[in-house]
Structure 1
Amino acid sequence: MKLAFRTVALTLALATASVHAHNVWLLPSSTVLSKGDWITVDAAVSNDLFFFNHNPLALDNLDVTAPDGSAIKAENVHKGKLRSVFDLNLAQPGTYRVAVLNGGVFARWKDKATGQQKRARGTPENIASQIPADAQEVEVTQSAGRIETFITVGKPSKLQPSGKGLELAATTHPTDLVKGEKASFILQIDGQPAKDLEVTVTPGNTRYRDKMDEITAKTDAKGQFSVTWPQAGMYWLEANTKDSKTSVPQAKERRLSYAATLEVMP
């Protein structure tokens, strides 16, 4: 099942619940550079992987982390009709983590007077003010999503997970993937192993083939899973889950999502 994201961070919860046809991704012009240089990254919500045919991805919550942990500012940021785009000047050697971090709160309830279902989206700070005092059957859900890719300049460096939400903590380095070789990864939730989590890996350019050719895996007790790459090219990895570890008092459920673009070399 395809994971759906909206282009605005605060609509993530609604999108996950109601739309399942779209892929959300970052596509770098290069994932491996021999020395410091510029790259361009495309960002979109699409019906086909790495093909611009739906909406641009909002970059309000773009987070680019340099190998030393410092933040890198994107340049020439532009939002078009079908895609967003930005440039990065990667001068420091090592591995960069390029991510869009989405989060928000979604509420639904039954209106006491009319009996109709009502919905609202907001932040942890303002969601309570949007729900009437006499609302019935109130359900509040928190969401946290990470969309990312990786770029290495020179020699790969160790990834430093944030310890927040669902994210990748690699065993095999994500910019050192080769056709025919087995790669092992670890998924974590708040820095702890994401156990028994289903993962889907899909080769890009789905527009030009009849089958999705998805590779499915499941994390073990340590949050680890493996993929053997059938061919070179760009791949989209996604996973999602839910738990009750919310940081919003009104929310009983937290929805977690993760998507990454990975390049496999010949």
Structure 2
Amino acid sequence: MNNWLKIALLTSLPVLSHAHTMSPFLLPEVFDTKAASNISFQSAITVEKFFVAGNNFKTSYVITQPDGQQKPVTAAATLKRFNIAEVDLPTDGTYRIRTQDAVGNSGKYALVDGRWLRVRPVRAGMQNPAPAKAAETATAQKAPAPTQPPRMIAADQVPANAKTLEVTNHLIAESYVTKGKPSAIPLPSKKGFEFKLLTHPNELYAGESLKAQVLMNGKPVPNLEVDVFKGASSYEPNAKREQPHVKTNAKGEVEIKFEQAGIYLMTASYPEANPDATKKPATDNFTYGLTVEVTE
């Protein structure tokens, strides 16, 4: 079956309910080609890691060519659940395809009684007749004690004098395609959240590893969890998608070993979820997805 037809069929499947957080991904039609003048790719948000597109997100793309030149690319088709785009491959070498200026839903937090609570919109028909006092909202003094402290608050319950904070969620997805012989991959820009690949992504084989360094504005990110997922088709309902996760070391370096051939998605979030709501949230959050193919 043609690879692109296979991708299209897989993305038509319904999304299953999972506990995993949603991640952006970018999936090329092929990762390695001998003489194609262009290839297609798709991008989407996935919950069912990762062949099933859950939702689309607004983005353009930037293609870094083997000579280092960067070319902008826009989607050829923007659908509800995913984008489809094409990229030209004018010369031999390795191309990086990366989303650009993509943001998820923004978030708002309010500091109530010493805790930063996420502000959720008030749903139609569920407005309270009168806003509760801040102490009643945050600590539920007039209600049975909850098993855990509250982490959210309705917009109409936020005290008028509460400090608030807007949070931007940045979505980054990238992949690499090689035409002919592989060439050097682009160096990191040292801006924002990046994976500096120490292993060529188009020369991965079963039983070997991908090595990378995770950077934030050019500085190593230590002790960050990286999740790994193996693609599986609709004909493999019992396939084990989730692989053992790994963590970066003190230098921000990570090694991901692939036991089997296939297509893999590596995801990471920065900063990681903060279990202590007393800590002020970061104003910028990053969710990253890298797609690679591992061959026999």
What TM-score results when the alignment is normalised by the length of structure 1? 0.73
Q: Cα offset for 1:67? A: 2.5
Aligned 1:163-178 pairs, distance under 5 A = 163-178=190-205
Query: Which of 152, 156, 170 lines up with 2:183 in the alignment?
Result: 156
Please state if 1:254 is matched with 2:284: yes
Amino acid at match of 2:292: L
Match of 1:198 in 2: 225
Unpaired runs of at least 5, structure 1: 1-18, 120-131, 244-249
- Paired residue total: 228
2:198·2:212 contact (CA, 8 Å) conserved in 1?
A: yes
Counterpart of 1:218 in structure 2 is: 247
Secondary structure of the residue that 2:271 maps to in structure 1? strand
Structure 2: distance between partners of 1:66 and 1:158: 9
The amino acid that maps onto 1:49 is K
TM-fit CA distance, 1:259:
0.8
Task: Give 1 or 2: higher strand fraction.
Answer: 1
Aligned-pair identity (%): 25
Match of 2:41 in 1: 41
Q: Distance in 2 between matches of 1:142 and 1:82?
A: 22
Q: Compute the displacement of 1:74 (Å).
A: 3.1
1:29-73 residue CA offsets vs partner (Å, 9 max, x unmatched): 111223452111022223323434532343x33222222332224
Return closer, same or farther for 1:86/1:139 CA change in 2, 3 Å cut-off. same
Match of 1:147 in 2: 173
- Distance in 1 between residues matched to 2:21 and 2:251, nearest whole Å: 31
Q: Secondary structure at the match of 1:92?
A: coil
Q: Choose 142-151 or 207-216, whichever is displaced more.
A: 207-216
Counterpart check, 1:114 vs 2:123: no
Q: Does 1:237 align with 2:266?
A: yes
Gaps of 5+ in 2: 1-18, 113-118, 120-129, 133-152, 273-279
Partner of 2:155: helix, strand, or coil?
strand
Give 1:206 deviation, angstroms.
6.8
Cα distance change, pair 257–179 in 1 and its aligned pair in 2 (3 A): same
Shift in Å, 1:210: 5.2
CA contact (8 A) 1:37 1:89 kept: yes
Label 1:53 to 1:185 Cα distance change in 2 as closer, same or farther (>3 A): closer
Query: Using the alignment, how far apart are the partners of 1:251 and 1:49 within structure 2?
Result: 27
Q: Which amino acid aligns with 2:285?
A: R
Distance 1:53 1:254 in 2: 25
The answer to whether the 8 Å contact 2:75/2:83 transfers is: no
| Code of the aligned partner of 2:197 | A
Deviations 1:99-149 (A, max 9, x none): 1133475323489x8357339xxxxxxxxxxxx9x5523133243331111
Q: In the alignment, residue 173 of structure 1 is paired with which amino acid?
A: H
Taking a change above 3 Å as real, the CA distance of residues 155 and 211 of structure 1, as seen in their structure-2 partners, is closer
Deviations 1:212-256 (A, max 9, x none): 34121111122111122111111000111228xxxxxx9854322
CA contact (8 A) 2:65 2:94 kept: yes
Paired residue for 1:186?
A: 213
Distance 1:158 1:22 in 2: 27
How far apart are residue 264 of structure 1 and its match?
0.6
In 2, the alpha carbon distance for the partners of 1:48 and 1:20 equals 8
Correspondence for 1:227 among 249, 253, 256: 256
Displacement of 1:186: 1.3
Q: Which has the larger radius of gyration?
A: 2
Give the partner amino acid of 1:149.
Answer: S
Deviation at 1:184, TM superposition (A): 1.5
